[in-house]
Amino acid sequence: MKQFDVVIAGGAMAGMTLALAINKLSERPLSVAVVEPFKAEHQSHPGFDSRSIALSFGTVEILKQLDLWQEIAPVATAIEHIHVSDRSHAGMAEICAKEVGVETLGYVVELADVGRIYHKQVESCESIELLCPESVKTIERKQGEALITLESGERIAAKLVVAADGAMSNCCQQIGLTLNEHNFDQVAVIANVTTQEAHCGRAFERFTNSGPVALLPMSEGRMSLVWCLRPEDAEAVMALDDEAFLTQLQAAFGWRLGKLEKVGQRASYPLLLRYREQNISHRFAVVGNAAQTLHPIAGQGFNLGIRDVVSLAEEIARSSQDPGDYSVLSGFKQRRESDREATIGLTSSLVHLFSNDYLSLRVGRNLGLVAMDNCSVLKAPLLARTLGLVAR
């Protein structure tokens, strides 16, 4: 039976970042296994599909410290300006990198690009073994280790098992960690679009009565669309041909980038808040979407997950003799409590505030956007979350 210090279930962004972070931060080499069902080059890999994500300034700084950013940078598009507005109303707020005093507010990367880069790095690292295609079948925990049976029938042992296997984590279900769910009654329609005017590093979030429309700058002049709609509206929009789809999107977004010219392949998924209050158990920890899956309204989910990952890697590095010891896990839990609660609370509040057309909320949010744009004291807390400059 192979023995590992850490076994990570899930080799998408959270799992791969954790494996590489443990390798970077630990003084002595720790043996790490990443158990992943899908190969990175396989088009159906759900963790490294055609989606794009926004990495905050703080997340990029973390990746730089882990020596992971250098290879990602060439395929990343800088966000230099964020424009927030409310459709058909006066409320508007803007965040500019130069005004804030940073080089860039963040970057947009395509998950498929990062997947290829991470797999290449893991394959060249002697202390990390990628078990792929493979998945965790059962976990049996003893006092000093966990025994994992894989789908192939192979058995491996670890001092710590980390669930990074997505929102519906099989590992968390086996351990019995309760999953809380809240349905926002919205569906996200995602696609890449091209626009008449160059984006020039600008990101847009526009609030409508059915939910936010976000456009993020990408390479080759493209923009990544996340359009949040009521389920029945999303179904209708997905059924439209490209021309009709762009016409409806234009009406929702406006003309700040001129005519919306082209749309790529569309996909949709329901928007739910999923979170586990308990992110540790005996010889077991939870990170990334397995710990919490957030509404995309403020682009917080992945960046929160990266703070989970690096905090756990730091705790493991401090006590590398036994990465699954209770002191390691309790230290991780305590470090993450405040940030998790605050980010989940902020995201849910923004959805409630900006996804309906009640007169009182509409007036309040527009006054709030105007006030925030003109008052640095009001702007500072949201700006800190946007930039990912959060204590962890």
| Structural domain spans, the chain | 2-51+111-180+273-349
Q: How many beta carbons lie within 10 A of that of residue 47, not counting itself?
A: 25
Question: Of how many residues is the chain composed?
Answer: 392
Contact 221, 199 (CB under 8 A): yes
Q: How far apart (Å, rounded) are the C-alpha atoms in residues 389 and 381? A: 10
pLDDT score at 324? 96
User: What is the value of pTM for the model shown?
Assistant: 0.88
What share of residues in the chain are helix, strand, coil (percent, to 5)?
A: 40, 30, 30
The Cα–Cα gap between 31 and 5 comes to 5
Q: Measuring CA to CA, how many Å separate 215 from each of 104, 187, 244, 252?
A: 17, 16, 18, 12
Q: Name the DSSP letter for residue 74.
A: G
CA-CA distance, 44 to 125, in Å (whole number)?
A: 25
Paired sense of beta strands 136-141 and 146-150, if any: antiparallel
Please report the pLDDT score of residue 164 as a whole number. Answer: 97
Q: What CATH superfamily classification does 2-51+111-180+273-349 receive?
A: FAD/NAD(P)-binding domain (3.50.50.60)
Report d(CA 106, CA 338) in Å as an integer: 23
301-350, pLDDT tens digit by residue? 889 999 999 999 999 998 878 999 999 999 999 999 999 998 888 777 76
Tell me the Cα Rg of the chain.
Answer: 21
List the beta bridge partners of residue 195.
260
pLDDT at position 174 is 94
Q: Where are the alpha helices (H) located in the chain, listed in sequence order?
A: 13-25, 57-65, 69-72, 97-100, 111-123, 170-175, 231-239, 242-253, 301-318, 326-354, 359-374, 376-387
Could you list the pLDDT tens digit for every one of the 392 residues in the chain? 999 999 999 999 999 999 999 999 999 899 999 999 987 664 444 444 457 889 999 999 999 999 999 999 999 999 999 888 775 554 567 888 887 788 899 999 998 899 899 999 999 999 999 999 999 999 999 999 999 999 999 999 999 999 999 999 999 999 999 999 999 889 999 999 999 999 999 999 888 777 789 999 998 899 999 999 999 999 999 999 999 999 999 999 999 999 999 999 999 999 889 999 999 999 999 999 999 998 776 678 889 999 999 999 999 998 878 999 999 999 999 999 999 998 888 777 766 565 555 444 444 444 444 444 444 444 455 566 567 666 67
